């Protein structure tokens, strides 16, 4: 949620940011009007309560007083009406406020759609096969390491079993990533995958739609779509010490998404599934350090990709393609030979204080003693299924086997090549 003080002080700045993200800037005018009415009503209620206190004091001092009793009777009804009106204004203001997205940082490229995202760099050499490369699903099924047919039997469409060397590859990727990231000051964490609705809403992923989320109505819990949705709220209603920031976490969890809008061949394998495992970075930062922390997250993502020797490109996301909570985002897209294109494998977002304001996560400034909202960032380490896809396609051999990247050998139980068992 945006700071109401910013909206009051510089509505035109807020309108521009909202418009650049493709949202309705008229919402800002509605918020200003509701906020003004709310504040005027608060003043009225304050005046009425003062009048009520005066009448009560008069009765205490002078005993029975018909005029004072009349005032108290009138004030009681009037105050109740005004307080009900205030509740409604506050509710309307909150409903309108949560429709506003986070504002893009000043260096984010302005664009009208994802077509205006900016390719910053391409890294790595694309494989030059002497044979026609196979797609990952054909490889995975022939090597008996991916089984979507039996997963369909047990769970329905958009699920998959990772078997044999693919299962080994998952744990190798996890251990390789942790061996790099923990040394950089990240605390490893395995969080719950169920979250309370109010904290889920606090992260800002449900402000526009919850159709992607799995809702356990009987338990009034949601399944997380990514672990930052649960690790962020871990510090809700806390005041962190500024000397402890940045506070960095690397979390592992299964993730759950309906993938309601996806269609076509992406739904037939393990690229877009309802359940997948992911390692995620999450950072709580001082406001003045959050842009630097975002670059650190991006640097780690690229370091891991270079270690795997996978060809990729870095994308700067334009204003219109930013998510609702994000003020600045980068994507990493990895080369998939079967599609002859890059596909998204990583995201990286600076959500500034948009989420922490609603979650009431603050830090205490050691100089002033004042408390302020911390900044919150997140970044993909590995979405496991997509990384396995990338490895299978880029490391495939002519005989249908697949080499395992050398950096994973210490974690792959001596397996260097995936062959059909």
Task: Identify the band that residue 208 occupies on the pLDDT scale cut at 50, 70 and 90.
Answer: low
Task: Identify the band that residue 164 occupies on the pLDDT scale cut at 50, 70 and 90.
Answer: very high
The pLDDT of residue 56 is 76
The pLDDT of residue 341 is 96
> In the structure, how many helices (H) and strands (E) does the chain have?
12, 18
The pLDDT of residue 300 is 98
How many angstroms separate the CA atoms of 327 and 21, rounded?
A: 10
- 4-97 and 114-418, same CATH topology: no
Kindly state the average pLDDT of the residues 39-63.
81
Task: Identify the band that residue 420 occupies on the pLDDT scale cut at 50, 70 and 90.
Answer: confident
Fold of 114-418: BirA Bifunctional Protein; domain 2 (3.30.930)
Please name which of 271, 180, 191 lies closest in space to residue 227, comparing C-alpha atoms.
191
Residue 211 class from Cβ within 10 Å (0-12 exposed, 13-18 middle, 19+ buried)?
exposed
Query: CA–CA distance from 1 to each of 51, 167, 231, 358 (Å)?
Result: 36, 40, 18, 6
- Most confident segment among 7-11, 54-58, 72-76: 7-11
How many angstroms separate the CA atoms of 90 and 85, rounded?
A: 9
The pLDDT of residue 264 is 60
Task: Identify the band that residue 187 occupies on the pLDDT scale cut at 50, 70 and 90.
Answer: very high
The pLDDT of residue 57 is 75
Asked if omega into 246 is within 30° of 0 (cis), the reply is yes
The pTM (predicted TM-score) of the whole model is: 0.92
Q: What torsion, rounded to 10 degrees, do the Cα atoms 17, 226, 178, 299 define?
A: -20
Does the pLDDT value for residue 204 go beyond 90? no
Which DSSP category does 109 fall into?
A: P
Q: Which of 67-71, 129-133, 157-161 has the lowest mean pLDDT?
A: 67-71
Does the pLDDT value for residue 386 go beyond 90? yes
Which DSSP category does 264 fall into?
A: G
Condensed to tens digits (0 to 9), the pLDDT of residues 324-337 reads 999 999 999 999 99
Residue with tokens 């760099």: 121
Does the pLDDT value for residue 55 go beyond 80? no
How many angstroms separate the CA atoms of 329 and 105, rounded?
A: 10
Task: Give the start-to-end residue ranges of the domains of the chain.
Answer: 4-97, 114-418
Task: Identify the band that residue 368 occupies on the pLDDT scale cut at 50, 70 and 90.
Answer: confident
How many angstroms separate the CA atoms of 4 and 271, rounded?
A: 40
Does the pLDDT value for residue 216 go beyond 80? yes
Task: Identify the band that residue 306 occupies on the pLDDT scale cut at 50, 70 and 90.
Answer: very high
350 within 8 A of 107, measured Cβ to Cβ: no
Task: Identify the band that residue 366 occupies on the pLDDT scale cut at 50, 70 and 90.
Answer: confident
Residue with tokens 């309705």: 24
**Residue 231 parent element (H or E):** helix 228-231
How many angstroms separate the CA atoms of 144 and 158, rounded?
A: 18
The pLDDT of residue 72 is 76
Q: Indicate which residues carry an active-site annotation.
A: 257, 272, 344, 347, 386
The contacts of residue 100 (CB under 8 Å, 6+ apart) are 1, 2, 14, 18, 23, 27, 28, 31
Work out the end-to-end distance of the chain between its first and last CA atoms, rounded to an integer number of angstroms.
53
CA angle, 352 then 197 then 374, to 5°: 20
In this predicted model, which residue has the larger pLDDT, 292 or 78? Answer: 292
The overall average pLDDT reported for the chain is 93
The pLDDT of residue 209 is 67
The pLDDT of residue 36 is 95
With pLDDT > 70 as the criterion, what percentage of the chain qualifies?
Answer: 95
How many angstroms separate the CA atoms of 10 and 177, rounded?
A: 43
Condensed to tens digits (0 to 9), the pLDDT of residues 92-129 reads 999 999 999 999 999 999 999 999 999 999 999 999 99
**Neighbour order of strands in the sheet with 194-195:** 194-195, 221-223, 214-216
Condensed to tens digits (0 to 9), the pLDDT of residues 240-286 reads 999 999 999 999 999 999 886 666 656 678 899 999 999 999 999 99
Fold of 4-97: Helix Hairpins (1.10.287)
């Amino acid at each position: 949620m945006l700071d109401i003080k910013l909206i009051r002080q510089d509505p035109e700045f807020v309108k521009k940011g909202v418009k650049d993200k493709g949202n309705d800037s008229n919402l800002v005018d509605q918020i200003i009007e509701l906020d003004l009415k709310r504040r005027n009503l608060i003043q009225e209620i304050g005046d009425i309560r003062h009048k009520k206190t005066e009448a009560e004091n008069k009765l205490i001092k002078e005993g029975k007083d018909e005029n004072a009793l009349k005032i108290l009777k009138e004030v009681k009804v009037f105050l109740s009406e005004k307080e009900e009106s205030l509740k409604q204004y506050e509710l309307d203001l909150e409903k309108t406020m949560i429709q506003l997205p986070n504002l893009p940082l000043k260096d984010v490229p302005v664009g009208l759609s994802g077509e205006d995202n900016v390719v910053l760099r391409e890294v790595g050499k694309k494989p030059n096969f002497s044979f026609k490369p196979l797609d990952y699903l054909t490889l995975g099924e022939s090597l008996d390491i991916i089984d979507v047919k039996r997963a369909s039997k047990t769970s329905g469409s958009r699920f998959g079993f990772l078997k044999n060397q693919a299962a080994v590859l998952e744990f190798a990727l996890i251990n390789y990533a942790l061996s790099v990231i923990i040394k950089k000051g990240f605390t490893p964490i395995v969080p719950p995958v169920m979250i309370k609705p109010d904290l889920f809403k606090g992260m800002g992923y449900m402000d526009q739609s919850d159709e992607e989320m799995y809702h356990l109505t009987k338990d009034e819990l949601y399944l997380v779509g990514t672990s930052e949705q649960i690790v962020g709220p871990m510090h809700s209603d806390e005041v962190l010490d500024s000397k402890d920031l940045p506070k960095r976490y690397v979390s592992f969890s299964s993730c759950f998404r309906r993938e309601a809008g996806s269609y076509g061949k992406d739904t037939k394998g393990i690229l877009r599934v309802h359940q997948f495992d992911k390692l995620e970075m999450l950072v709580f930062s001082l406001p003045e350090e959050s842009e630097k922390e975002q670059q650190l997250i991006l640097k780690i993502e690229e370091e891991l990709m270079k270690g795997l020797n996978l060809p990729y490109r870095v994308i700067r996301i334009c204003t219109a393609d930013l998510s609702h909570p994000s003020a600045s985002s980068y994507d990493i897209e990895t080369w998939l030979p079967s599609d002859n294109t890059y596909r998204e494998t990583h995201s990286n977002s600076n959500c500034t204080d948009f989420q922490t304001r609603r979650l009431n996560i603050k830090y205490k400034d050691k100089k002033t003693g004042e408390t302020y909202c911390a900044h919150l960032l997140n970044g993909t380490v590995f979405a496991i299924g997509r990384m396995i896809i990338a490895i299978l396609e880029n490391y495939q051999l002519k005989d249908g086997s697949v080499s395992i990247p050398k950096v994973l050998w210490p974690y792959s139980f001596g397996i260097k090549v995936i062959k059909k068992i």
